[in-house]
Amino acid sequence: MKFYLDEDLTPVIAVSLRQRGVDAVSAHEVGRIGLGDAEQLAFAAGQGRCLVSANARDFRRLGHSAIEHGRPHAGIVLCPPRIRGLGIGVVSALARIAERYRAGLGEYDDLHL
């Protein structure tokens, strides 16, 4: 499982995940700040990375649109909107997801923390 963290989450989460052996990068780290949600999801899909975001409303809609239009992605994990800071709970939850879904999520799957 590989993660791509949307810009609404701190890049510290990606660093903490890598310290646990989880393949994770942040939009902040790869210079993808200020792009639209569809562009973020497309980038994550192109990298074979599951997108992680606290923007549940928009990414839930984009996930449904992907199914309707046959645009597979590498999964979406939606965090509770109140989690935007350091997110120790998010790190632990994502590490558990990575352990459980070693091969990644299905091409249209989404999970909620």
Average pLDDT, the chain: 87
Residue ranges making up the domain that contains 24: 2-112
Which pLDDT tens digit goes with each residue over 64-89? 787 888 888 888 898 876 655 556 68
Whether residue 92 is predicted with pLDDT greater than 60 in this model: the reply is yes
- Give yes or no for residue 45 having a pLDDT over 80: yes
| Residue 24 belongs to domain with CATH number | 3.40.50
Confidence (pLDDT) at 81: 63
d(CA 55, CA 15): 20
Q: Are strands 2-5 and 23-26 parallel, antiparallel or unpaired?
A: parallel
pTM of structure: 0.86
Q: Could you give the number of structural domains in the chain?
A: 1
Instruction: Give the pLDDT of residue 27.
Output: 97
State the pLDDT at residue 74: 87
